[in-house]
């Protein structure tokens, strides 16, 4: 079994197959979507902005 065999829920509670992201860079973060205590978002946003133009 690989990561691409899994299905996850998006914010709209829709099933998304991780196979859709094969051959792409993935960063998987487990967050509480509705939680206001999310200090990690700042670092994740910085990471995204830094590497977005490189395919992240």
- Residues serving a catalytic function are 35
> Do 19 and 3 form a contact (C-beta atoms < 8 A)?
no
**C-alpha distances out from residue 47 to 13, 15, 20, 36, Å:** 25, 26, 22, 20
């Amino acid at each position: 079994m690989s990561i691409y065999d899994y299905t996850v829920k998006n914010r709209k509670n829709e099933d998304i197959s991780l196979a859709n992201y094969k051959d792409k860079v993935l960063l998987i973060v487990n967050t509480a979507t509705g939680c206001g205590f999310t200090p990690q978002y700042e670092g994740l946003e910085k990471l995204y902005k830094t590497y977005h133009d490189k395919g992240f």
